Structure 1
Amino acid sequence: MPSPTQRALAKVPGPLRPFLVQHRSLVKFLLVGGTCFLLTLAINYGLKYTVCQNKPVVALTVGTALATVVSYLLNRQWSFRSEGSHKEAIPFIVVSALAVGVNDLPLLVSRYVFHLREPSVSHFTQEVADFVSGMIVGTLVAMAFRYWAMKKWVFTNTKYHEAQDNAAEPPARVG
């Protein structure tokens, strides 16, 4: 009986399969990241338009921090498949705290260095600048940092599970 991984791969177009198999932890990491991006977006704007109206960096920080907890759980159980030890918790907290700061930097620069905020610019320009700097640029830079740092310092014990995943790969096509 085929494994869930084999069944999922059977539905993927042929040319994409080798890439997905070779970069499976990156693909899983990106799926988790996309989910957490949407969570951050919802929390950020929920706070920004209610209790943190004059504190957009606080709203982004809270949204990013909460999504980071969800990210930890999903990445630990699925993307990097840690072997059950919680020894990665301290490095995860350190990397995540740094990543939240990395995520906030573009918004801080946009608002307080380039003064892309009211009254210097229109409300619309401020909101576009906040979205691009905080949600897009900040997220992309923090994502690259997190992926590198998580593989290097946090989820380092993944060889066992990668060997199991490789055993579940579909046979190579001949001809």
Structure 2
Amino acid sequence: MPSPTQRALALVPERVRPLLVRHRKLVKFLLVGGTCFVLTMVVNFALKLTVLKEKPVIALTIATVLATVVSYALNRQWAFRANGRQREAVLFFVVSGLAILVNDAPLALSRYVFDLREPDVSHFGQEVADFLSGMIVGTLLAMVFRYWAMKRWVFLPDTPPAPAGRPEPERVP
């Protein structure tokens, strides 16, 4: 019986399959990211439309923090298949904290520097600006940063320790 991955690959055009297989970590990372993007969007809008109407940056931050926790679990177990070191978890949340700042920056700029908010623009204009700056631009910038940082510092491949020292070659008199 084929695995879920094999069944999914069977749906992809044959000439694209080698590319997906070669970049499978990136593909998995993007699938996790897409799932967390939807989660972020749902939580963000739920908060913005209810308890945090006047605090869009806080709503986005809370939504992003929640999605970050889900992202850690999915990336660790599936995308990067890491073996659960404490150092890894700490670095993941440090990188994710920085990525939340990267994600929030375009929305904060849109709202508080460019004044794309009521009464300077219509309510519809404000919501479009919030979505484009926070959910699209912010998410794309944070995604690029996260992928680079996760590969570089967090989910490192297991490598055997290097030998302590090379033995000196025997000298022949």
In which range does the TM-score fall when normalised by the shorter chain?
Answer: 0.7 to 0.9
- Could you tell me how far apart the structure 1 residues matched to 2:14 and 2:124 are? 44
Aligned twin of 2:136:
136
Partners of 1:102 and 1:141 within 8 A in 2: yes
Aligned twin of 1:26:
26
1:140 shift after superposition: 0.3
The one-character-per-residue Cα deviations of 1:97-142 (angstroms, maximum 9, x if unpaired) are 0000000000000000000000111101000000000000000000
- Could you tell me how far apart the structure 1 residues matched to 2:14 and 2:99 are? 36
Q: For structure 1, which segment, 64-73 or 7-16, has the greater mean C-alpha deviation from structure 2 after superposition? A: 7-16
Partners of 1:80 and 1:158 within 8 A in 2: no
The higher radius of gyration belongs to 2
- Could you tell me how far apart the structure 1 residues matched to 2:42 and 2:3 are? 35
Aligned twin of 1:151:
151
SS for the counterpart of 1:15 is coil
Q: How does 1:27-42 map to 2 (within 5 A)?
A: 27-42=27-42
Q: 1:159 to 1:4 in 2, by over 3 A?
A: farther
How big is the alpha-carbon RMSD for the aligned residues of Structure 1 and Structure 2?
1.7
TM-score, structure 1 as length reference: 0.86
Aligned twin of 1:74:
74
Looking at both structures, which has the greater relative contact order when contacts are Cα pairs under 8 Å and sequence separation is at least 6? 1
Tell me the number of residue pairs that the alignment of Structure 1 and Structure 2 aligns: 160
- Could you tell me how far apart the structure 2 residues matched to 1:39 and 1:2 are? 29
- Could you tell me how far apart the structure 1 residues matched to 2:133 and 2:92 are? 25
SS for the counterpart of 2:127 is helix
Give 5+ residue unaligned stretches, structure 1: 161-175
TM-score, structure 2 as length reference: 0.87
- Could you tell me how far apart the structure 2 residues matched to 1:125 and 1:14 are? 43
Partners of 1:57 and 1:107 within 8 A in 2: yes
Q: For structure 1, which segment, 80-89 or 6-15, has the greater mean C-alpha deviation from structure 2 after superposition? A: 6-15
- Could you tell me how far apart the structure 2 residues matched to 1:23 and 1:155 are? 16
- Could you tell me how far apart the structure 2 residues matched to 1:126 and 1:62 are? 20
